[in-house]
Amino acid sequence: MIRKLTALSLLLVLLVFKVQAQATINGQAYAEVIAAITAFENNQMSFGRFSPEIAGGQIVLTPEGARLVEGSVILGGGIAQPGKFIITGQPDATYSIQLPTGPALLVNSSNNTMIVDNWVSNPPAGNGTGILVGGSETVSIGATLTIGSLDDNPVGVYTGTYSLTFAYN
């Protein structure tokens, strides 16, 4: 009988250990939807007023608003400013800036053109370069305007568009 109790005790001990060798628990899952990233143009990019003179050249407009001239171009005043965009979204989220991959054309009413390229930004373009401190940030865009001679680019107003992409990382 002692042997039966020992065998029965051993069986009970094994059952107890088997039951205690596993545990079931419910875990929790979490998800949070954040505000969509948005952008709007606060200031239009403007290279200001100038005269191309005989040979033309380039105006380099930095994201900080400085204008640098190359060639025979003579600056003539007017408002020169980088493009400025207000980016909004989830506070403290990082985002990327993708600048235009090619040139943009500025066209006047007679279909004469100038080329805008060599895009630069502050903060710099790339992945994770911007942070939406407090949920917003201003991005400044500069570029280089290539101008032909006065014959190629006669007096007039030249306009065009360019595309930027802002995205969460």
CATH of the domain at 50: 2.60.40
Domain that holds residue 64: 35-168
Q: Per the domain annotation, does 97 fall within a domain?
A: yes
pLDDT digit string (tens) for 5-27? Answer: 565 565 555 555 555 678 899 99
pLDDT in tens, 148-159: 999 999 999 999
Task: Name residues whose C-beta falls within 8 Å of residue 115's C-beta, 6 or more positions apart in sequence.
Answer: 103, 104, 105, 106, 145, 146
Nearest to 56 by CA among 111, 107, 120, 115: 115
Domains in the chain: how many in total?
A: 1
Top-confidence residue, 45 or 35: 45
**2 falls in which pLDDT band (50, 70, 90)?**
low
Which strands make up the sheet holding 94-98, listed edge to edge? 126-131, 94-98, 165-168
Task: Look over the chain and give the mean of its residue pLDDT values, rounded to a whole number.
Answer: 91
Query: Is residue 118 predicted with pLDDT exceeding 60?
Result: yes
Model-level pTM greater than 0.85? no
Instruction: Output DSSP code: residue 21.
Output: T
**pLDDT at site 128:** 86
